[in-house]
Chains A and B, each alone.
Chain A
């Protein structure tokens, strides 16, 4: 497919061309380059024009193709090519659409010390406005089991490990019983 379908059909780069203009341009090229001509035509040119015609065959296709060209010009800094879009040969400041990242960048996961302080400060009201009873039951279960573990195997390396597992369980399952922090 031609990088510039408008150029392939010899048309001006405008999204508001009508269907008839596009069809006429393609027919003119097709008649001159069709492979069935006595002189053999120009298969490459014919194929290119046909592909461009299929791309520009509808108003939507033309507007998409035009938007692609404008976007490409913006990326390459060719503002002069599209003065109607970039008056004064400058980028008017529209932000290009960001790509959707599969995962959030790592730095977003880093927690600043202030955020930690706020998290601690907001903890009591978050408990109060969440589901305190459920949280209390979870805490009681985790604490009771931890006490049992410490009683059963005092001083054994497995004891802190079990307690760590219980704390992990409590934190992971108890989070949802807290009310969301402010403005969340």
Chain B
């Protein structure tokens, strides 16, 4: 073959390829013009989805809803024409008749048809065909938009090689804008949605999760373990309050409908200070708006009595609240535990308050209490521990003094619908830790007390790291799981979740209610929980100083929850990781409905619950002989 004939063949093939391509576009153009109502709707749907950052699912949803029109059309046509075929023919006839007028409108045959008449005829044709054109057009737009996204992200489309990056960044901005618009609407994100779900905010993006405009969580997820991690100022508090109020509303609703127990919300705020009080006030107003009867802020407004705990649990709690050492100190720890058990479980009942408890840490009291002839072992123990009692009493007195009167009663968790506990974890960490231990113990008792009203319980701990020194989170989870109460914990960072890497991983991996990650500098361990998704990675060959049209594609694994995206999250944006998927959400600020009747502006004063005429039980049997020291004091005789 000569060079000339090779050139001719190449040019011919090139022309043929171009001709086929042009013919294809022409054919497409003709089809688009012929089916002009469909083209109009498709174009409108596609452009809207592109401008608003909608996923194809939203267009598919709109198409599904528009099918109601098609249904009504078929029904009305069948009623009028008495036959489906005639009805269908009528639609086709309308479309055919619209053509001369549309043609006139676009061709400008002003002499034949007046422009406004042509426009009217075109509009008439459109509305005649709209019942079928709207759902079909939106469906087609969904397909085209899905293809466009696929083509861009896999490198099949886009002018430059960086097109996937710019496309994704632009779409993210638009998705955020759409989600923000939605969260600003008053009725889009209420405290409780349909089906008992808790709406959280507008969905920005969903990867591996079902997409809905408003992301809503089943309230059952809050009865599991949930972890929230976000830096200060990332909007963590808003999210927690929304989840708590949503859970409360869902459970109150279910209880009123006879489908569950009344809710009891217990919030432990480990930070303390003025901020915590502001948060408490916000939570309270929201819960009143959600229908709560009484919300109490502790220790400002009410007290609890840890002396109501079962004696054995109380003894263990008191022992755990005291710092004990190791090595030689372990001996004294054992002595202390034995003494505490003797003091608390003495015949006649547990102590009523701190004063009566401290009174019991006395050799004579213990001897009188246990010397009844039936408790020889305990009496011997009390005798053996006598020389340590003064030290133990001093330590316990110091501890109870530091804890303050707010755990000395009166009051029980069952007295309110929600308790907001403010622990001064920043100012007095050791006291806050001891208080947290006591409060968690009281919550556990409230959950299992066979004589109390069964309640659905959620234990939420804000800034857990401030009080986690004595109660490891793993322990809290384990207890929550065995007691059937939901545990919601927030921390400012991955490191705040636990003391060791091992513990952090266990906590995150067992958060079966989901993990919320907000703006944080080190999200990788948490995003790893969502796993990776299979994506196509396309490369492009460089031809000189520009990209050529050749390249390769290969399957790769990419983060389901992109850590870099999480690092760049703005205030109020969160990523919910659950079940191998991730949903990015613009969290809506929780607000009570303005229609809630008579929201109390201030809580009612707590009912006065003075301890009844209970008296310190007298040890039994009474002492055989009265010690004169008891009457006259030591050394009087």
Chain A residues within 8 Å of B, Cβ to Cβ: 15, 58-60, 63-64, 67, 70, 85, 92-101, 103-104, 108-109, 122, 125-126, 129-131, 148-149, 152-153, 156-162, 164-165, 168-169, 172, 175-184
B593 touches which one: A15, A98, A180 (CB < 8 A)? A180
Q: How far is the CB of A128 from chain B (nearest CB, A)?
A: 9
B447 lies within 8 A of chain A by Cβ: yes
A165, B594: Cβ atoms under 8 Å?
A: no
Q: With A122-B595, A165-B66, A165-B69 given, is the CB distance from A158 to B190 under 8 Å?
A: no
Closest to B77 in A: A157
B134 touches which one: A70, A165, A184 (CB < 8 A)? A165
Residues of A within 8 A of B456 (CB): 95
- Report the bound CA distance from A152 to B124 in whole Å: 6
Closest to A134 in B: B185
A182, B596: Cβ atoms under 8 Å?
A: yes
A60, B474: Cβ atoms under 8 Å?
A: yes
B565 lies within 8 A of chain A by Cβ: no
A98, B503: Cβ atoms under 8 Å?
A: no
A178 touches which one: B182, B187, B196 (CB < 8 A)? B187
B593, A165: Cβ atoms under 8 Å?
A: no
Interface centre among A130, A160, A161 (most CB of B within 10 A): A161
B194 lies within 8 A of chain A by Cβ: yes
- Report the bound CA distance from A103 to B194 in whole Å: 11
B127 lies within 8 A of chain A by Cβ: yes
B331 lies within 8 A of chain A by Cβ: no
Residues of B within 8 A of A103 (CB): 195
Residues of B within 8 A of A104 (CB): 194-197, 218
- Report the bound CA distance from A31 to B79 in whole Å: 86
Q: With A67-B478, A161-B131, A162-B131 given, is the CB distance from A93 to B454 under 8 Å?
A: yes
Residues of B within 8 A of A178 (CB): 186-187
- Report the bound CA distance from A158 to B81 in whole Å: 13
- Report the bound CA distance from A130 to B186 in whole Å: 6
Residues of B within 8 A of A162 (CB): 69, 127, 130-131
Q: How far is the CB of A154 from chain B (nearest CB, A)?
A: 11
B377 lies within 8 A of chain A by Cβ: no
Query: Known contacts A152-B120, A178-B187; can you find 19 more A-B pairs with CB under 8 A?
Result: A15-B478, A104-B218, A108-B194, A125-B595, A130-B187, A149-B127, A152-B127, A157-B77, A157-B79, A158-B73, A158-B128, A158-B131, A161-B69, A164-B69, A165-B130, A168-B68, A176-B187, A179-B594, A182-B595
The digit string for B121-149, where 1 denotes a CB below 8 A from any CB of A, is: 00110011111001000000000000000
